[in-house]
Chain A
Amino acid sequence: MEVTMDPLFLAWSYFRRRKLQQCSDICAKILQDNPYDQSFAVSQCLKTRALTEMVYIDEVEVDQEGIAEMMLDESTIAQVARPGTSLRLPGTSQGGGPTPAVRPMTQSGRPITGFVRPSTQSGRPGTMEQAIKTPRTASTARPVTSASGRFIRLGTASMLTNPEGPFINLSRLNLAKYSQKPNLSRTLFEYIFHHENDVKNALDLAAQATEHAQFKDWWWKVQLGKCYYRLGLYREAEKQFRSALNHQEVVDTYLYLAKVYQRLDQPITALNLFKQGLDHFPSEVTLLTGIARIHEEMNNISSATEYYKDVLKQDNTHVEAIACIGSNHFYTDQPEIALRFYRRLLQMGVYNCQLYNNLGLCCFYAQQYDMTLSSFERALALVGNDEEQADVWYNIGHVAVGIGDLTLAYQCFKLALAFNNDHAEAYNNLAVLELRKGRIEQSKAFLQTAASLAPHMYEPHFNLSILSEKIGDLQSSYTAAQKSEDSFPEHVDTQQLLKQLRQHFSVL
């Protein structure tokens, strides 16, 4: 007869091997078979943890500000903050980074980053109109970034799973009883917080548990802070995290607290906090990354790059740092170095459409023509969705413009539009090609569309302005030029055009 393994031990083993579904199934069986056994409590605990692990997401990394939180934010103090103290108004780059003429902008007026993570794409829109128009789920930056942070929408996991009803019925739970048991209470808290996503009950439990621990347990304080943060009570969250830091210095707590400050739009405080954290945990990668990200969001690209380099000194496989430094080199006219960084990513096993896309562009601009088009071909073979495909075609279109094959360029931009109807850059470039063909009406229509799709880009406004000026519609030309000036005040050509138009208007 075969010796069977103790099911509880098997479940534990499964849990260790992260075969969570099997673990949960075995636990369920144990719970059903011998409900009054000694192993009951253990297996219940195990199942709770397995279920939590299944939907666990890194709370520090994954955080996207919802549109409602962005626009209906009551904790905003100054609407017009001084430049360099707010994430909301990036202003002109203080770090001497490239201008929008060289490095494309995201909608919020920041240069695009080399690494997509929540909050690099959307930023904070200026007006309600702009906010509700934003395509919030899709759209990557162009040229495509090398890796994208994946995230499930918070709090929806439990709704999608569990067809036969919840494992623990929260409404019947005696939170006070469980909060007395330190062994159980933490597992239960994580279950409620991550799996059930019931922040209110989690907060209750955490509050009672921290009381039971006589306000001396830093872990519970961090959890309280997390709950407050989820509920949008940032000042309370800050208090809890600060108090937790007094008990015990933990990197995670620093990261949470910095997140609170970023949400409160106090990037300088967050930076100071990170530096304080670095005193206790010298060269900690996550803290360095945090600093780099804040610098990047505040449009200070050169210091962001410095910090990313520090990150690489500690962890030379840090994808985000490599990607960001690479894209910075690309946009500061050193594509050959960017190529090195992207090749490094390839060596590390990052193998996706975006990376090949970037490699293709770098090869083209670094004059390594033999590898350019094969990279794009691979990128096309690896596309995962329509947006990626649109981006690859858009970049091929750029190469085609570069080698003077306008027919190919035209087809590529059309294809980019076919795969992504909101591709404002493609509309803009298509308009220029149409104009070269002499089809003014088409060109104008495309430019208007591009301008309405991406009001943050100055190119369509400027092109429309030039076009209108050529056909003699000075008034439209002037309004378009003004819009162009709004989105890129330092643009010399716009300035000159405006000056010329003003002269036109003042002459009798």
Chain B
Amino acid sequence: MSESSDDRKWLDAHFDPVAGLYTFSSCLDLAELSGDGESQLVVGDLGSGSSGMKLKVYRGTALVSESSLLDLPAGLVAFFMDLHEPRIPAVAVASGPCVYVYKNLRPYFKFTLPGLEVNTLEQDVWQQAREGQIDPLTLKEMLEGIRKKADVPLSFCSLQFLSLDASDMDEFVQLHKQQPIRRQTVITCIGTLKKSTADEDGVSCLVIGTESSDIFVLDPEAFIILAKMSLPATPTMMDVTGQFDVEFRIMVACRDGNIYILRRESDKPKYCIELTSHPVGLVRVGKSVVVGCTDESLQGFTQKGKKLWRIVLPAPITTMASMDLPSRGFQAVLVGLANCEVQLYRDKNLLSTIKTPDVVSSICFGRYGREDGTLIMTTKGGGLMVKILKRTAAFEDRDSAPGPPLAQSIRLNVPKKTKLYVDQTLRERENGLAMHRAFQMDLSRLRLAAAKTYVKALESSLTPVSSSLSEPLKMNAVVQGLGPSFKLTLNIQNTATCRPVMNLAISFLYDESLYQMRSPYMRIPLLVPGLIYPVETFVECTSDKGISDIIKVFVLHEGRNCPLLTAHINMPVSEGLKLH
């Protein structure tokens, strides 16, 4: 149903499964970078995660520009930083502790976050190291001490030093002792906030969330910090509305699973939404906030943090984005799911489902090229998908309350009672007494037989499980190989709750004309309870007749003449012959 209706709603404009774009929704934006009225796609590509980070620009179906990034991008936004004509936006890429601003796709400015307060003790210690008063080992000890006690955390350089081996320390100190000690934080999310006008092309400030639980608002021209707000936890996602000079509202999803709402008046959060699980997506639709959580749910809140609704999704959320079509007054939320679907929700109603060939990792909706309603998605495998919303497409709210569950109408496959069965029940009814007596007699006999065999097995320790109270052991054997060489692995486990077992040995009994064993007697180390100890040895099959035999394994205790355990290994037939 959804398949056909989606074909009618979306046009497949472009699909490149091997575009090699690995990115998330926060690093995706649409902007008119050339000023000719054609919107382009700006992507902060994460590459392989350790190399190949790039800033890419797509126009139409083609990649028009590509420049390397120094570090992993945490976020990317396009914003207007001045009032010059033609109105061309700048691109800000947040990575590490810096914001790199590109104008006309050329590096224009680099803003670095102010350093954090450095522990004075730490500084003193490094000062001493610099003057050669202490050797690296003492340095390490002192830094360890500071790390444990001090309120201000250590700098990155010190932490790196502490993780080194003793051999590498000297070199590290030589290399780093001349540099001043700094403590730097990194950017976790970035957004834009209009400065004074609500116009589409008004000048915007950058809003930055950092690892040190701060929010900074930057001036777009001078790049000075206009406002600083602090949060109780590290922000991960944010949504900003309003104008800086008038009134604004910053919604921040944090790592402690709460969403904080900041207002212009105070530098502390005004409202707090406590979620039951971690948020993975935060989208504002009109006056309400839609949050996707790790428990596969989508929740709606008012701007003041009042919960409106909650629905359960069919799969975990991978990404979320808003779909805003001002020309039609249509606002909805796009949710990428791990089951290769993208679902469109208006409030709690599912409007449509788009099936994708791969799991979608980022979504962006907006004006691309000259088309207003364009949906851009990148997939987990690096593919790029562009779909255009048809002008005729209409979304209707479906009533999501279904009738009785489908399972009600499924018939169970219960086999019919056969005539035979009826006859047998008749027999049972008539001869119930005799049957019961016969069964009870057989049962007593069988109990006796079982007990006899069991005792015999216990006496000769035939079982691979020892039930003695002093050495509760368990063994199983695995044979690997095609032959003529086999690897024999004996997994021995002490199943006691807390007592170790000592002084054990293993020996083997086998036909010496058929097999050769590398070590027919082995000692077992102390067995700690609960762990599996693999004991390995090699068996060589010396016969070329294609026959196999049993190898018996005994676990022996020093000073006792009967084995604790016995295992019989059915050796496989050797499928290869030994070369001479």
Contact surface of A with B, Cβ cutoff 8 Å:
66-68, 96, 132-138, 153, 155-156, 159-160, 332-334, 336-337, 340, 366-370, 372-374, 376-377, 380, 386, 393, 396, 403, 405, 408, 411-412, 414-415, 417-422, 430, 441-442, 444-446, 448-449, 452-453, 502-503, 505-508
Cα distance A334–B414 in the bound complex, in angstroms? 10
Q: Are A133 and B418 in contact (CB under 8 A)?
A: no
Q: Are B480 and A67 in contact (CB under 8 A)?
A: no
Cα distance A32–B576 in the bound complex, in angstroms? 38
Determine how close the nearest CB of chain A comes to the CB of B412; give it in whole angstroms.
Answer: 12
Interface residues in B493-514 by Cβ distance below 8 A to A read: 493, 495-497
Chain B hits for A368, CB < 8 A: 424, 427-428, 435
Per a CB cutoff under 8 Å, which of A367, A393, A414, A441 touches B425?
A367
Q: Are B446 and A377 in contact (CB under 8 A)?
A: yes
5 A-B pairs besides A367-B428, A405-B443 with CB distance below 8 A are A132-B480, A137-B573, A370-B435, A445-B474, A503-B295
Cα distance A502–B277 in the bound complex, in angstroms? 11
Determine how close the nearest CB of chain B comes to the CB of A375; give it in whole angstroms.
Answer: 10
Q: Does B406 contact A (CB under 8 A)?
A: no
Q: List 17 A-B contacts (CB under 8 A).
A: A96-B413, A132-B481, A336-B424, A340-B420, A366-B421, A368-B435, A386-B568, A411-B451, A414-B457, A417-B465, A418-B457, A420-B568, A446-B465, A448-B532, A449-B476, A505-B294, A508-B276
Q: Are A370 and B438 in contact (CB under 8 A)?
A: yes
Interface residues in B339-372 by Cβ distance below 8 A to A read: none
Chain A hits for B420, CB < 8 A: 336-337, 340
Chain A hits for B277, CB < 8 A: 506-508
Q: Does B572 contact A (CB under 8 A)?
A: yes
Chain A hits for B570, CB < 8 A: 135, 137-138, 422
Task: State whether A135 and B446 are in contact (beta carbons under 8 Å apart), knowing that A67-B575, A337-B418 are contacts in the complex.
Answer: no
Per a CB cutoff under 8 Å, which of A160, A376, A442 touches B495?
A442
Across the two chains, which residue of chain A brings its CB closest to B473?
A: A445
Across the two chains, which residue of chain A brings its CB closest to B493?
A: A445
Determine how close the nearest CB of chain A comes to the CB of B287; give it in whole angstroms.
Answer: 27
Cα distance A446–B466 in the bound complex, in angstroms? 12
Q: Which 5 residue pairs of A and B lie closest in terms of their CB atoms, listed nearest first?
A: A373-B442, A506-B295, A370-B438, A506-B277, A156-B546
Determine how close the nearest CB of chain B comes to the CB of A415; give it in whole angstroms.
Answer: 6
Chain A hits for B571, CB < 8 A: 137
Q: Are B474 and A446 in contact (CB under 8 A)?
A: yes
Across the two chains, which residue of chain B brings its CB closest to A69?
A: B575
Q: Are A159 and B573 in contact (CB under 8 A)?
A: no
Determine how close the nearest CB of chain A comes to the CB of B421; give it in whole angstroms.
Answer: 5
Q: Are A508 and B257 in contact (CB under 8 A)?
A: yes
Q: Are A333 and B415 in contact (CB under 8 A)?
A: yes
Task: State whether A414 and B465 are in contact (beta carbons under 8 Å apart), knowing that A449-B474, A449-B476 are contacts in the complex.
Answer: yes
Q: Are A452 and B424 in contact (CB under 8 A)?
A: no
Q: Are B293 and A68 in contact (CB under 8 A)?
A: no
Per a CB cutoff under 8 Å, which of A133, A135, A369 touches B439?
A369
Determine how close the nearest CB of chain B comes to the CB of A374; give it in whole angstroms.
Answer: 6
Q: Are B482 and A68 in contact (CB under 8 A)?
A: yes
Q: Most chain-A CB neighbours within 10 Å: which of B295, B438, B457, B476? A: B476
Interface residues in B250-298 by Cβ distance below 8 A to A read: 257, 275-278, 293-296
Interface residues in B441-458 by Cβ distance below 8 A to A read: 442-443, 445-447, 449-451, 453-454, 457
Cα distance A449–B491 in the bound complex, in angstroms? 9
Determine how close the nearest CB of chain A comes to the CB of B439; give it in whole angstroms.
Answer: 4
Task: State whether A417 and B463 are in contact (beta carbons under 8 Å apart), knowing that A372-B439, A507-B295 are contacts in the complex.
Answer: yes
Chain A hits for B481, CB < 8 A: 132
Task: State whether A508 and B275 are in contact (beta carbons under 8 Å apart), knowing that A135-B572, A417-B465 are contacts in the complex.
Answer: yes
Q: Does B118 contact A (CB under 8 A)?
A: no
Cα distance A415–B460 in the bound complex, in angstroms? 12
Q: Are A421 and B439 in contact (CB under 8 A)?
A: no
Q: For this complex, into which size category does the number of interface residues on chain B fall?
A: 35 or more
Cα distance A376–B447 in the bound complex, in angstroms? 12
Determine how close the nearest CB of chain B comes to the CB of A106; give it in whole angstroms.
Answer: 17
Q: Are B545 and A160 in contact (CB under 8 A)?
A: yes
Q: Are B450 and A133 in contact (CB under 8 A)?
A: no
Per a CB cutoff under 8 Å, which of A132, A336, A380, A441 touches B482?
A132
Chain A hits for B445, CB < 8 A: 373, 377
Q: Are B449 and A380 in contact (CB under 8 A)?
A: yes
Cα distance A386–B453 in the bound complex, in angstroms? 13
Chain B hits for A160, CB < 8 A: 545
Across the two chains, which residue of chain B brings its CB closest to A380?
A: B449
Cα distance A502–B294 in the bound complex, in angstroms? 9
Task: State whether A441 and B529 are in contact (beta carbons under 8 Å apart), knowing that A373-B443, A508-B278 are contacts in the complex.
Answer: yes
Q: Does B462 contact A (CB under 8 A)?
A: yes
Per a CB cutoff under 8 Å, which of B418, B431, B478, B495 touches A334?
B418
Q: Does B98 contact A (CB under 8 A)?
A: no
Chain B hits for A135, CB < 8 A: 479, 570, 572
Q: Are A421 and B457 in contact (CB under 8 A)?
A: no
Q: Does B464 contact A (CB under 8 A)?
A: yes
Q: Are B446 and A396 in contact (CB under 8 A)?
A: yes
Determine how close the nearest CB of chain B comes to the CB of A10; give it in whole angstroms.
Answer: 33
Determine how close the nearest CB of chain A comes to the CB of B423; give it in whole angstroms.
Answer: 8
Q: Are B545 and A156 in contact (CB under 8 A)?
A: yes
Q: Are B476 and A422 in contact (CB under 8 A)?
A: yes
Determine how close the nearest CB of chain A comes to the CB of B433; give it in whole angstroms.
Answer: 11
Across the two chains, which residue of chain B brings its CB closest to A368?
A: B424
Chain A hits for B480, CB < 8 A: 132-133
Cα distance A116–B257 in the bound complex, in angstroms? 58
Q: Are A373 and B439 in contact (CB under 8 A)?
A: yes
Determine how close the nearest CB of chain B comes to the CB of A360; give it in whole angstroms.
Answer: 10
Q: Are B415 and A133 in contact (CB under 8 A)?
A: no
Across the two chains, which residue of chain A brings its CB closest to B498?
A: A441
Task: State whether A417 and B415 are in contact (beta carbons under 8 Å apart), knowing that A366-B424, A408-B447 are contacts in the complex.
Answer: no
Chain B 523-558 near chain A by CB (<8 Å), digits 1 or 0: 000000110100000000000111110000000000
Per a CB cutoff under 8 Å, which of B278, B438, B464, B496 touches A421?
B464
Chain A hits for B278, CB < 8 A: 506, 508
Q: Does B377 contact A (CB under 8 A)?
A: no
Q: Are A367 and B548 in contact (CB under 8 A)?
A: no
Per a CB cutoff under 8 Å, which of B257, B476, B497 touches A452?
B476
Q: Are B450 and A411 in contact (CB under 8 A)?
A: yes
Cα distance A159–B544 in the bound complex, in angstroms? 9
Determine how close the nearest CB of chain B comes to the CB of A402; give it in whole angstroms.
Answer: 12
Q: Are B450 and A442 in contact (CB under 8 A)?
A: no
Q: Does B517 contact A (CB under 8 A)?
A: no
Cα distance A505–B278 in the bound complex, in angstroms? 10
Q: Does B181 contact A (CB under 8 A)?
A: no
Cα distance A333–B434 in the bound complex, in angstroms? 26
Chain A hits for B293, CB < 8 A: 506
Cα distance A134–B425 in the bound complex, in angstroms? 44
Q: Are B572 and A415 in contact (CB under 8 A)?
A: no
Cα distance A155–B474 in the bound complex, in angstroms? 39
Q: Are A336 and B418 in contact (CB under 8 A)?
A: yes
Q: Are B450 and A370 in contact (CB under 8 A)?
A: no
Chain B 558-571 near chain A by CB (<8 Å), digits 1 or 0: 00000000011111
Q: Does B304 contact A (CB under 8 A)?
A: no
Determine how close the nearest CB of chain B comes to the CB of A367; give it in whole angstroms.
Answer: 6
Chain A hits for B306, CB < 8 A: none
Cα distance A431–B431 in the bound complex, in angstroms? 38
Task: State whether A396 and B415 are in contact (beta carbons under 8 Å apart), knowing that A160-B545, A372-B442, A421-B464 are contacts in the complex.
Answer: no
Cα distance A415–B455 in the bound complex, in angstroms? 10
Q: Are A421 and B532 in contact (CB under 8 A)?
A: no
Q: Does B146 contact A (CB under 8 A)?
A: no
Cα distance A96–B415 in the bound complex, in angstroms? 13
Q: Does B191 contact A (CB under 8 A)?
A: no
Q: Are A414 and B575 in contact (CB under 8 A)?
A: no
Chain B hits for A448, CB < 8 A: 493, 532
Q: Are B418 and A421 in contact (CB under 8 A)?
A: no
Cα distance A66–B462 in the bound complex, in angstroms? 32
Per a CB cutoff under 8 Å, which of A136, A408, A502, A505 touches B573?
A136
Cα distance A505–B529 in the bound complex, in angstroms? 29
Per a CB cutoff under 8 Å, which of B275, B421, B446, B479 touches A336?
B421
